[in-house]
Structure 1
Amino acid sequence: MSKSITCWFLILTIFIGEESIEGRTISTSVNKAIIKTIKVGTDEIIDCYDIYRQPSLNHPLLRNHSIQMTPSSQPKGIKSDDFGTLQPAQIWHKYGSCPEKTVPIRRKGKNYNPTLLRKHNHPKLATYKTHVTSKSNDDPDIHEYATIEVYGHFLGAQAKINLWKPIIETSEISVSQIWITAGEDEIINTIEAGWQVNQDLYGDDHTRFFIYWTADGYNNTGCYNLACDGFVHTASNIGLGCQFSETSIFNGDQKDATFSIHKDQNSGHWWVQLQGIPVGYYPSSLFTKLSKTATGVTWGGEIVNLKSKGRHTSTQMGNGHFPSEGGLKTSSYFHWVQVVDENNMAKDPKHVEISTTNPHCYDLKIDNHRHDTNGYGFYYGGPGYNDKCQ
């Protein structure tokens, strides 16, 4: 056999022996880390990875990393009844479960587009990138927001967010989330968590749990979910990028979930939790500015407006209704909005700044009437295109 034929034979063998996992192509040898595979309907696969052999541990900074299985402590002042109505249910649970000491990783879909990994901007960051002119999802000018923001020194934040299935136009997104940030401009560090509808990323219009991070202003580091190495997954029952099993009904049952991010007092890792369940963490070593404390926290909604029809998009934020339309059961909400201060105490945010890109398209209103039952909160969202939003 000639050298050229041998070379092509080896390449073909390697190609056949590879499978696609969300954001990565893994070899047969790595597949040995998969303990169990769960087929979810006809279009989705969940692989249960040995927790000690999960792909994120291949990150250069994590080669000798010792996994922290649970946070050493929880922020003080967070009540157990702050958690939402889900426990927490994701569609894949109907088809199976991952064993202990394994973590569920969603296999990437057929239409996976790796160029989408870093197409998420922070509201403040968008104001600094005015030099971007192309109308791709990289352009911060096409991102619109309805958010509240606070600044100081924080060890975390949380919020109970009700879940919806907004209608989105092709290749656009609708997001409801928390941003934890430090630094500014091109060196901004962020950790983000919440829910989103993102057809290009997931191949459908379902409402999914997501996380995101960057250590350099969304330029060369970071990604959604587990699409790149970094996040250390610890929960066997919660999948990143996976669909919630229920969403809220307009003027009917409300389904919500509590999302939180907090810095561990001992290890310094940034833990992400859903419904009070530790999902995993971003090691402090991944970051430059977030290695100590966050200096800003943002809560609220975001959409991408591509103006593909020559007008403002009709992609919905939240459930597509304005806060002024009635509040609870009518508008989308954030309840139990809290920051975690430097003493690891959860508190209501102070000196809040409201930021809306265009209130005629998407708006936000602080809820001043239900603090005793729902904590600090707000209603937000809107339909996009209308008579006043062109």
Structure 2
Amino acid sequence: MSTRVRMPLVMVFLHLLFSATPIHSDQNVVPLKTFKISENVTYDCINIYKQPGLDHPLLKDHTIQLKPSVSKPELKNQTGNNKTYKRKMGCPDGTVLILRNSKEYINNTKLYTEKYFHPLTGDSHGTHIAGVRSRDGPYRGVEGWFSLHNYNIGRDQASYTQIYIGSGLNNQVNFIQAGWMINPSVFGETNHWSYGFWKSKDGKGCYNTACPGFVQISQEVPIAQPLDQPGEDVLHYSIHQDKRTGNWWITKLIPKVPNIDIGYWPKELFDLMDTGANMVGVGGAVQASRQGSSPLMGNGKFPDGGTRDSALFADVKVVNSNYEHRRIDYFPLETLLDSPKFYWLRIGKVKILGFFFTYGGPGGNSCYNVSSSTIVYSD
């Protein structure tokens, strides 16, 4: 497999992705039940038909889809741990979990997108990535296992692990991204959180439910939450387009537990992904401070050991235009690595892990973008 470092299109996507300023929809509906997770994190059980996500102007005639047309099979005992998954929250029937959006949270999100997060350009070396992608669409979905890691970073830094799918045309972009992040500028703390991000056809978008658009369906797992589940050290997420409705679902898959269809981004939000997306990808990303200091990526270690020594993506698959699941390297694959002095990427293929790669690094100051070949190997 040939390895290429291709940055220009990534710069465009990252600029479009993170330059959006989210809007806010007030939650005026009285919750039926409330879960206070910590001093600053509260979830409300809101009537599913009165949830704030439906306030988006593009969704005024939207009909809620209560479950995907086709559900993924339940995982038995694949990659991951075998410990019992304990549900911490559960809303009554007819309600869904919604993170209470405080003014501070909304302001933090706006501040991050407007000021702290600057795109990867020749004048601004703030964003650094390590991952793989394919632009041989159309694609109907992407999924993969990825390891969880928590650590302290600076207030104006961020570290991500993500799966994403999107389409671009000229200066327009439709984009959906999900995974985990450590982002004190958004969440006000250094804990790692699950998250989702989207950018729609009206040029707007946001994280999680900080503005209308995402439709929450699960009564137990919200789109964004602190990831402190005991024994949970990997996540398995799937983003896929529903074959019947065209909506884009996000599903959490857990060994020995029924799959959790968290919710979806309605098809009405997008105009470039009606028949699928032209790009899918997975990987890690970081955002440096304005002083130029880049944080840890992955677990902060270079991938120069075994699969358990650094951050891991495993069994990465995409759904093609015919809704068939294929390993991502079945399609033309690009490797993205812009700062090999501070972050590495190693690719492998073994039966138990499918297509996988390890990635990450300690970061540092002045992580300037230079070309480098990625280490490619097989076990």
Q: How does the TM-score come out when normalised to structure 2?
A: 0.80
What secondary structure does 2:245 align onto?
coil
Over 3 Å counting, the alpha-carbon distance change for 1:386 and 1:231 in structure 2 is closer
Displaced runs of 4+ in structure 1, greater than 2 A? Answer: 22-27, 78-90, 108-120, 138-141, 386-390
Q: Give CA-to-partner distance per residue, 1:39-98, whole Å, 9 cap, x none.
A: 22322211111111111111122223221111001469x9654574488968xx54x531
Could you tell me whether the CA contact under 8 Å between 1:118 and 1:222 is conserved in 2? no
Which residue of 246, 261, 264 maps to 2:239? 261
CA contact (8 A) 1:158 1:178 kept: yes
Query: Which residue of structure 2 aligns with residue 147 of structure 1?
Result: 131
The residue correspondences of 1:125-204 to structure 2 (distance < 5 A) are 136-140=116-120, 141=124, 142-152=126-136, 153-184=138-169, 186-204=171-189
SS at match of 1:245: coil
Does residue 319 in structure 1 map to residue 317 in structure 2? no
Partner of 2:359: 380
Higher mean alpha-carbon deviation, 66-75 vs 146-155, is at 66-75
Contact 2:216 2:222 in 1 (8 A): no
Partner of 1:40: 37
> Does structure 1 residue 71 correspond to structure 2 residue 68?
yes
Distance (Å, rounded) in 2 between the aligned partners of 1:40 and 1:173: 22
> TM-score when scaled to structure 1?
0.78
CA distance in 2, matches of 1:207, 1:72: 31
- Paired with 1:297 and 1:86, the residues of 2 have a C-alpha distance of 29
Q: CA deviation at 1:100?
A: 2.3
What's the offset of the Cα at 1:117? 4.7
Deviation at residue 167 of structure 1 after TM alignment: 3.1
Higher relative contact order (CA 8 A, sep 6+): 2
* Equivalence for 2:344: 363
**Corresponding residue of 2:273:** 290
Where do 1:228-267 residues align within 5 Å? 228-246=211-229, 255-267=233-245
> Counting strand residues as a fraction of each chain, which structure ranks higher?
2
Distance 1:165 1:83 in 2: 20
Name the structure 1 match of 2:10: none
On the 8 A contact 2:223/2:263 being kept in 1, the answer is no
How many positions carry a matched residue from both structures?
A: 336
Q: Secondary structure at the match of 2:179?
A: strand
Contact 2:23–2:212 under 8 Å retained in 1: no
Residue type at the aligned position of 1:294: A
Partner of residue 305, structure 1: 288
Q: 1:345 Cα deviation (Å)?
A: 1.2
Greater fraction helix: 1
Distance in 1 separating the partners of 2:148 and 2:244: 33
How far is 1:306 from its partner?
A: 2.1
Within-5 A mapping of 1:261-280: 261-275=239-253, 276-280=259-263
Computing the radius of gyration from Cα coordinates, the structure with the larger value is 1
What's the C-alpha RMSD, in Å, of the aligned pairs? 2.9
Gaps of 5+ in 2: 1-21, 254-258, 370-379
